[in-house]
Amino acid sequence: MANEEEFRVYNSMTQQKEIFKTHEPGRVGMYVCGVTAYDLSHLGHARAAVNFDVLFRYLQHLGYQVTYVRNFTDVDDKIFRRANELGEEPLSLSNRFCEEYLVDMADLQCLTPTHQPRVSDHMEQIKDMITQIINNDCAYLVDGDVFFAVDKSPNYGQLSGQKLENHRAGERVAVDSRKRNPADFALWKGAKPGELSWDSPWGPGRPGWHIECSAMSAHYLSFRFDIHGGGIDLIFPHHENEIAQTCAACQESRVSYWMHNGHVTNNNEKMSKSLGNFFTIREITQRYHPLALRHFLISAHYRSPLNYTVSQLDGASDAVYYIYQTLQDCEDALSPFQEGSLKEVPEQKGKTARVTSAAQECISNLRSEFQTKMSDDLNTAQILTVAFQEALKFINSSLNTLKKKQPKQQQLSMIESLIAVEKEVKEVLNILGLLSSSTYLEVLEQLKDKALKRAGLVENDVLHLIEERTLARKNKDFSKSDQIRADLTVKGIALMDVGDETIWRPCVPVEQERNALPVEQTASTTD
């Protein structure tokens, strides 16, 4: 699929869409702020990871060689507190949750970034940058702590719009009477008694939160790179402080595009620790297929708020099932007509099978819509709608036609058309990260297993109810047969009569208003 549109992205710095141009032709450097590894990752983490994974995939699709860096914060107050509560070594605890995060990312089909640096492995780079900032007279030392002097940053607030005179002590930046300005922030924190620490020119301690990303992005991508991403919560103070300290270390530093994904909300309230209304990725994927969660996460534009509801996940799960059932049906129908078999069919009067005009139009529409929407700041919200749905309808309609007796040439043309449209559908799914490495049949079975779990049933329960319904229909007890079907539909199980056989598949439950998933633990969407 050739790129026929100019790729435009929204730059948080300029607050407008801009044509994407790289520092170095054909190459992209991208840094995305990762997780603080002290607990299982939650829906906010999943949204950031999936959205920037789509960007990573799309840039590769456009032909760029992408160096994608996503960090782990494995040294932090939250980690120390949790380790102390559990009686565990801080780095052991953070390593454990880094590994759990990677499991979640694999489940969500996020490609592995080029580099996944951890703070604990980059102390020398961090200390070198702090030294440079001090040497440039933009930081000062107080009792083993090193603070960045925001007064030395003339453009402070350029990303967030925050003005220094509007800052109030205690808001987002810790109150400390030793600071020259209440907005000054720590580059290095002196060690507290018994706390994990590293030696430095300023005494034992550890880095502040903001400096780690500046040091690691500069180490892997240099001081000038293309994209810096993260959640919208990070614009201030994290990314604002990153800009200030990185420019203090190197005046030539520059990020071309700052990109931020929107909040995840729960029934239109922002998910947060204080409200206790957030869910871990693992809680959701225990009940819904990870592909359903990924489909849900790209169902809104990445910059828009994304409202979580159970019915939204039910709808996403149903959409994924329809996609994979269509692909499975297509594979089953085409299996007797593999490429080798097609070559063995004699041509009729010198004619070769051609893709039909209807299929060509379907492919053209899908390509055009995909390219137009993706090139417009990754508008994934509208990609799986009109043209994509028409492509799936074309496949299903063609499969029905293929079952009917028709001239050989028309049959071959239909087969070639199905192959071509299926290929285009899979290309779109692959770029969106919705094409599983598992077989279509395996994904369908996994989706059915999740549906049974949500319904509180096992497959034998459903099969037994199908038998009861069949007997009721045989006895002309249609009230009972209808009730059995209705009861299952409420639980998200649909019965379908195919000839003399009744089969079942997952569906969106009739009752949309249901209790949300249980909350077992809490965290903010930007931890």
Give me the chain's average pLDDT, please. Answer: 91
CA dist 440 and 322 (Å) reads 11
Tokens of 208: 């502040």
The answer to whether 289 and 60 are in contact (CB under 8 A) is: no
CA dist 2 and 10 (Å) reads 22
The answer to whether 108 and 290 are in contact (CB under 8 A) is: yes
In sequence order, the β-bridge partners of residue 497 are: 502
The answer to whether 395 and 333 are in contact (CB under 8 A) is: no
Tokens 């979580």 correspond to 308
Residues in CB range of 47: below 8 A, 6 or more apart: 231, 261, 262, 264, 297, 302, 306
In sequence order, the β-bridge partners of residue 280 are: 42
Strands (E), 33-97: 65-70
The answer to whether 423 and 365 are in contact (CB under 8 A) is: no
CA distance from start to end of the chain: 38
pLDDT of residue 4: 44
Tell whether the torsion through CA atoms of 74, 79, 85 and 90 is positive or negative.
positive
Strand order in the sheet with 306-308: 269-270, 264-266, 306-308
Helices (H), 274-356: 281-285, 290-297, 310-334, 339-344
Dihedral pair phi/psi, residue 505, rounded to 5°: -150, 160
Tokens of 310: 């159970």
Residues in CB range of 264: below 8 A, 6 or more apart: 43, 44, 47, 270, 271, 278, 305, 306, 307, 308, 525
pLDDT of residue 166: 57
Q: Return the ∠ at Cα 263 (arms to 257 and 269), rounded to 5°.
A: 160
Give residue 192's region: left, alpha or beta (phi > 0; psi -120 to 50): beta
Residues in CB range of 140: below 8 A, 6 or more apart: 134, 146, 147, 149, 180
Tokens of 386: 């009109």
Domain chopping of the chain, boundaries: 18-286, 325-340+353-440, 456-506
Calculate helix-pair angle for 386-402, 310-334, nearest 10 degrees.
Answer: 40
* Burial class for 194, CB neighbours closer than 10 Å (0-12, 13-18, 19+): exposed
pLDDT of residue 512: 42
CA dist 440 and 367 (Å) reads 23
The answer to whether 394 and 359 are in contact (CB under 8 A) is: yes
Given a cut of 50, the residues of the chain with pLDDT beneath it are 1-4, 168-172, 341, 343-350, 512-516, 518-527
The predicted-structure confidence for 109-130, as pLDDT tens digits, reads as follows 999 999 999 999 999 999 999 9
CA dist 78 and 90 (Å) reads 10
pLDDT of residue 345: 46
pLDDT of residue 273: 58
Cis amide bond preceding 237, omega within 30:
yes
Give residue 519's region: left, alpha or beta (phi > 0; psi -120 to 50): beta
CATH of 18-286, one of 3.40.50.620, 3.60.20.10, 3.30.56.10, 3.40.50.300: 3.40.50.620
The amino acid at 429: L
Helix, coil or strand: residue 183: coil
CA dist 399 and 202 (Å) reads 72
H or E element: which one contains 10? strand 8-11
Tokens of 370: 């995909």
Q: What is the CA radius of gyration of the chain?
A: 27
